[in-house]
C-alpha cells in the first residue's frame, strides 16, 4: 500500500498539572430552553498541551493510553494493515507498556464496525474458573474472607485477552501475525523508559509482589524507578510463542503448562481445562438511538446499556418544566440520570448467560418516562432521601482503552484490563505475565462493595464459567446518515460510563470541541455510595451550599477518555490529558 501522507513521528511524553484557565462548564441545555452559565477551570487549557493530546488527519487515527502503543498501530498500518491489524498491534503493545493496567492474562471487550462487512461485539473478558464459586470466598459463618478476591492467586479469573485479539485479527485482519506482534516483542525485548504512572504503581504494589514479579519490576532488590529501562524477556518469549503457535499457545502450549504448574500450589484453582473450555463470545452490538445518533455499544455484562439509560433519562428530563432553572437543574438532571443507571446496574447487571438483563426495557422511551416521573416527584416535593456519610476509597483506577477510525468509517473501540492496579499482583514464573484480579468484579456477597465501591446482587454472584459484570463500555456512534461519527471509550473502573457520558454531553449537547469535551471537569454518581463526586475545579464555582440535597465530595476524576470523531473530511483524535497517551495517524 502506498501512502501520500507522511508517517508522523511520535511526540515526546510530557506531563500535566500546569496553570488552568476559566471556561464555561454548563452553557446551555439540550433543548436550548434556558441559559446555564456555570464557569469552572478547565483541567488542561494551554495550546501547547492541547497539541500533544489532539491530532487531526484524513486517513486514520488511533487514540491510546501510551505513545508507543499508538506508534505500534501506525507501524502496521504503514505496512498495509487495516483498522483491525492496528487494533491487534496496539493491544499487544499496550499489554507490554501498561502492565499495571492491562495484560495478556487479562480480558476485555471490543465493538467493531466495518461498514462494508458488518458490526460485532466481542466479549473476551475473564471467566470464573470451574472451581470459582461464591462459597470459595466465604467463611463458614457466611462472612466474606477479606482480600481473597482482591489479591493473590485466587483473585484471578480465566484470562481471555490473547484469545480475543487473535480471534478478531484472524477474522478481520490482513497482515501475518508476526508483523502485527512485532512492535510488542520489540518493546518487551529492548525495553522502554519507565514513566511516572508505572513507577508509582510498581512502588505501591512492590511489597505484595511475588518473587517472579519482583525480578521483572525491580533492580538490585528494589522497585524500578522512573526513567530506568524496563525489559521483559520472559514476556517477549511468550509473545514469540504466540506468533509461532497462534491460539494453540493458550490452549495447551508452554504458557498454559506454566500456568498449571503455578496453580499446582494453589489447589489447582485454574487448570488447563479452564483454558480449553474458554470461548470468545461474539454477538451483535447493543444498538440504540439517542441524542441524534445511533449508538453501538457493548451488551451485558458490559455497562453499555446503563450508559444509554443515562442518555435517555437526561433527554426525558430536559422535556420537563418542573426542574429548577439554571445550573442547579442541570446538575440534578445529570446526577439523577446517573443514579438510576447505576441502581439498575447494581440490581440487574450480570452475565446474560446466567441471569436475565432486561436490556430492551432499560433502553426504551417508556422506561425513561417512568423513571423521570419518579425523579420529578422527588424534585417537586423536595423529599430527598437522607444521604449517609460514607468515605470513598481513593483507588488508582486502571484498565486501558484504544479507539481507532479510518476515512471509510471502519472503527474499533476496545477496553481491556487486569482490573485493579497490577491485578492480583502475582506473576506466573516463566511467562512475564501478571494475573488479573477480576474475581473482585463479581458480587462476592449481596451488598458488599468491590474495589471501586460498586455493589451487586445475586445476578452478579460468582459461578463457574460466568463472566463478571463490568463497567467497561466501548462505544461507536453513527450519524443520521449511518456514517461512523465517533469512537469512544475509557478506563477508570466505576467511572467509565459516566466519563463517556460527560464527554458525549459536552460534545453532542453543549457543542464543545472534542478536546474540550474530553478534558472538562466531570460529574460522577454511582448510586452507592449515595454521593455526587465532582472534580476539584468545580468547588469554588459550585460549592456544597448550592447542592444541599446531595452529599458532595470533590475528588479528582480518575477515568481517562480516548475518542475520535469525524468532522467533515477530517478525523480528530484526542487522548485524555490526564494520562500519558497520544493520538497518532495520517
Q: Which residues are catalytic?
A: 399
Helix (H, G, I), strand (E, B) or coil at 334: helix
The DSSP secondary structure of 430-465, one letter per residue, reads TTTEEPP-GGGGS-SSTT---TTS----GGG---TT
Query: Is 354 exposed, middle or buried, given 0-12, 13-18 or 19+ CB atoms closer than 10 A?
Result: middle
Is residue 517 a known part of a binding site?
no
Inter-CA distances, 373 with 336, 360, 369, 377, Å: 12, 19, 6, 6
The DSSP secondary structure of 250-302, one letter per residue, reads HHHSHHHHHHHHHHTTTTT-S-HHHHHT---EEEPPEEEEETTEEEEEPPTTS
Is residue 196 a known part of a binding site?
no
Is residue 470 a known part of a binding site?
yes
Is residue 417 a known part of a binding site?
yes
Is residue 418 a known part of a binding site?
yes
Task: Enter the C-alpha cell of residue 294.
Answer: 445511533
Q: What does the CA dihedral 453, 520, 485, 162 come to, rounded to 10 degrees?
A: -40
The DSSP secondary structure of 195-238, one letter per residue, reads PHHHHHHHHHHGGG--HHHHHHHEETTEE--TTSEE--HHHHHH
User: Helix H segments across 349-412?
Assistant: 359-362, 365-381
Round to whole Å and give the CA distance between 311 and 290. 7
Is residue 108 a known part of a binding site?
no
3-state DSSP of 105-139: CCEEEEEEEECCCEEEEEECCCECCCCCCHHHHEC
Task: Enter the C-alpha cell of residue 282.
Answer: 461474539
Query: Residue ranges for the binding site for L-glutamate?
Result: 125, 417-419, 441, 470-471, 493
- Residues annotated in a binding site: 125, 417-419, 441, 470-471, 493
Amino acid at each position: 500500500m502506498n501512502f501520500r501522507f507522511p508517517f508522523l513521528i511520535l511526540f515526546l511524553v510530557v506531563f500535566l498539572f500546569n496553570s488552568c484557565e476559566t471556561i464555561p462548564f454548563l452553557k446551555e441545555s439540550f433543548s436550548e430552553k434556558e441559559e446555564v452559565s456555570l464557569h469552572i477551570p478547565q483541567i488542561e487549557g494551554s495550546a501547547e498541551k492541547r497539541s500533544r493530546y489532539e491530532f487531526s488527519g484524513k486517513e486514520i487515527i488511533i487514540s491510546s493510553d501510551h505513545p508507543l502503543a499508538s506508534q505500534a498501530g501506525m507501524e502496521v498500518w504503514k505496512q498495509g494493515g487495516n483498522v483491525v491489524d492496528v487494533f491487534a498491534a496496539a493491544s499487544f503493545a499496550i499489554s507490554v507498556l501498561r502492565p499495571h493496567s492491562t495484560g495478556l492474562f487479562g480480558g476485555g471487550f471490543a465493538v467493531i464496525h466495518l461498514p462494508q462487512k458488518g458490526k460485532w461485539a466481542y466479549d473476551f473478558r475473564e471467566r470464573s474458573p470451574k472451581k470459582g464459586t461464591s462459597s470459595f470466598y466465604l467463611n463458614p459463618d457466611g462472612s466474606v474472607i477479606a482480600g481473597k478476591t482482591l489479591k493473590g492467586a485466587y483473585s484471578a479469573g480465566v484470562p481471555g485477552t490473547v484469545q480475543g485479539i487473535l480471534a478478531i485479527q484472524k477474522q478481520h485482519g490482513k497482515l501475518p501475525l508476526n508483523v502485527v506482534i512485532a512492535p510488542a516483542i520489540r518493546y518487551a525485548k529492548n525495553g522502554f523508559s519507565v514513566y511516572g504512572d508505572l513507577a508509582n504503581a510498581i512502588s505501591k504494589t512492590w511489597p505484595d509482589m511475588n518473587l517472579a514479579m519482583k525480578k521483572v519490576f525491580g533492580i538490585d532488590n528494589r522497585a524500578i524507578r522512573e526513567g530506568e529501562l524496563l525489559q521483559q524477556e520472559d514476556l517477549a518469549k511468550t509473545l514469540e510463542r504466540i506468533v509461532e503457535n497462534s491460539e494453540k499457545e493458550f490452549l495447551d502450549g508452554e504458557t498454559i503448562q506454566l500456568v498449571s504448574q503455578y496453580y499446582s500450589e494453589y489447589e489447582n484453582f485454574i487448570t488447563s481445562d479452564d483454558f480449553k473450555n474458554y470461548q470468545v463470545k461474539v454477538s451483535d452490538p447493543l444498538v440504540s438511538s439517542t441524542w441524534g445518533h445511533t449508538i453501538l455499544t457493548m451488551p451485558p455484562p458490559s455497562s453499555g446499556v446503563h450508559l444509554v439509560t443515562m442518555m435517555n433519562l437526561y433527554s426525558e428530563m430536559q422535556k420537563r418544566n418542573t426542574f429548577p432553572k439554571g445550573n442547579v437543574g442541570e446538575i440534578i438532571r445529570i446526577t439523577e440520570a446517573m443514579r438510576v443507571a447505576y441502581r439498575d446496574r447494581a440490581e440487574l447487571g450480570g452475565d446474560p448467560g446466567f441471569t436475565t438483563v432486561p436490556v430492551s426495557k432499560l433502553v426504551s422511551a417508556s422506561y425513561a418516562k417512568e423513571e423521570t416521573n419518579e425523579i420529578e416527584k422527588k424534585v417537586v416535593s423536595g423529599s430527598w432521601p437522607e444521604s449517609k456519610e460514607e468515605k470513598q476509597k481513593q483507588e488508582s483506577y486502571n484498565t486501558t482503552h484504544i479507539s481507532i477510525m479510518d476515512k471509510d468509517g471502519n472503527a474499533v473501540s476496545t477496553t481491556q484490563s487486569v482490573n485493579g492496579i497490577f491485578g492480583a499482583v502475582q506473576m506466573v514464573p516463566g511467562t512475564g505475565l501478571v494475573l488479573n484480579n477480576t474475581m473482585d468484579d463479581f458480587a462476592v456477597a449481596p451488598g458488599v462493595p468491590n474495589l471501586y465501591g460498586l455493589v451487586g446482587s445475586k445476578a452478579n454472584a460468582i459461578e463457574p464459567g460466568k463472566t463478571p459484570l463490568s463497567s467497561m463500555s466501548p462505544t461507536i456512534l453513527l450519524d443520521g446518515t449511518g456514517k461512523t461519527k465517533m469512537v469512544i471509550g475509557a478506563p477508570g473502573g466505576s467511572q467509565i460510563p459516566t466519563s463517556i457520558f460527560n464527554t458525549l454531553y459536552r460534545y453532542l449537547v453543549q457543542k464543545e470541541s472534542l478536546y474540550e469535551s474530553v478534558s472538562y471537569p466531570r460529574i460522577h454518581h454511582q448510586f452507592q455510595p449515595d454521593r455526587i463526586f465532582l472534580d476539584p475545579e468545580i468547588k469554588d464555582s459550585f460549592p456544597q451550599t448550592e447542592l444541599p440535597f446531595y452529599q458532595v465530595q470533590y475528588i479528582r476524576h480518575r477515568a481517562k477518555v480516548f475518542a475520535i470523531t469525524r468532522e467533515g473530511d477530517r478525523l480528530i483524535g484526542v487522548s485524555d490529558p490526564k494520562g500519558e497517551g497520544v493520538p497518532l495517524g495520517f
